[in-house]
Structure 1
Amino acid sequence: MYVQQGLDLKLIDCFYDVQNWDTYHLENDPALLKQLHQQGALCVGGFDSDNQLIAIQVVSNQYIADYPDAKLLQYFYVDADHQGLGIGTQLMLSALNSARQLNAKQLYISATPSQRTVDFYLKQGAQLIAQPDQQLFEREPEDIHLLYTL
Structure 2
Amino acid sequence: MVSIIPMKRENSYKIREIDRSEKIELIYKCTGGVLEEIKAGHECPNWDEDHYQEIIGRFEDELAKGGTAFGAFDGDTLVGFGVLAHTFRGSKNDQLQLDLMYVTRAYRRQGIGRRIFGALSAVAVNKGAKSLYISSTETESAVKFYASCGSAITTEIDAELFEKEPYDIHMLKKL
What is the TM-score when the length of structure 1 is the normalising length? 0.91
Cα RMSD, aligned residues only: 1.6
Alignment CA distance shift 1:41-1:87 (3 Å):
same
Partner of 2:49: 23
Selected match of 2:68 from 35, 38, 42:
42
Partner of 1:92: 117
Cα deviation, 1:103-140, whole Å, max 9, x if unaligned, reads 21110000000011101111110010123111111110
2:86 aligned with 1:61, yes or no?
yes
Deviation at 1:30, TM superposition (A): 2.3
| Count of matched residue pairs | 149
Cα deviation, 1:3-31, whole Å, max 9, x if unaligned, reads 00122111101135545233222123323
Structure in which a larger fraction of residues adopt strand? 2
Structure 1 CA distance for aligned equivalents of residues 42 and 98 of structure 2: 21
Note the residue ranges of structure 2 that are not aligned, 5 or more in a row: 1-26
Note the residue ranges of structure 1 that are not aligned, 5 or more in a row: none
Partner of 2:39: 13
Alignment CA distance shift 1:12-1:94 (3 Å):
same
Selected match of 2:156 from 131, 138, 148:
131
2:28 aligned with 1:2, yes or no?
yes
State the secondary structure of the residue aligned to 1:55.
strand
Structure 1 runs of 4+ aligned residues shifted over 6 Å read: none
Check the 8 A contact 2:90/2:156 in 1, yes or no.
no
What is the TM-score when the length of structure 2 is the normalising length? 0.79
